[in-house]
Amino acid sequence: MKISLRFRTIYHGNLQKLYSTIDAASLEEVNAIFHIRYKEEINKMQEGEAFYIFSEKGKLEFDEDHRLIFPDIDMTGIQK
């Protein structure tokens, strides 16, 4: 039986927002899934843009300027 965890991805560009939610067994697996599902979006990224992937265990919070406050949990990122 495969145990799934829920991961969230955040888009970091002009506006930071929740981009997708993916179920996977590990951070490495969700990173691979994201690269396959969102290959076109990754290729279109501009300098300074990023996607951050982290477990749904942490609370998603933004500051008054709508910037992500990074949760204190394991995460990975895809940046240009």
pTM, entire model: 0.71
In which domain, by residue range, is 72 found? 5-79
Say if residue 41 is exposed, middle or buried (CB neighbours under 10 Å; 0-12, 13-18, 19+): middle
pLDDT tens digits for 4-37? 556 666 666 666 777 788 888 888 888 899 899 9
Amino acid at 17: K
Instruction: Tell me how many domains the chain contains.
Output: 1
Strand partners of residue 22: 7
pLDDT tens digits for 35-52? 999 899 889 888 888 888
CB atoms within 10 A of CB 12: 19
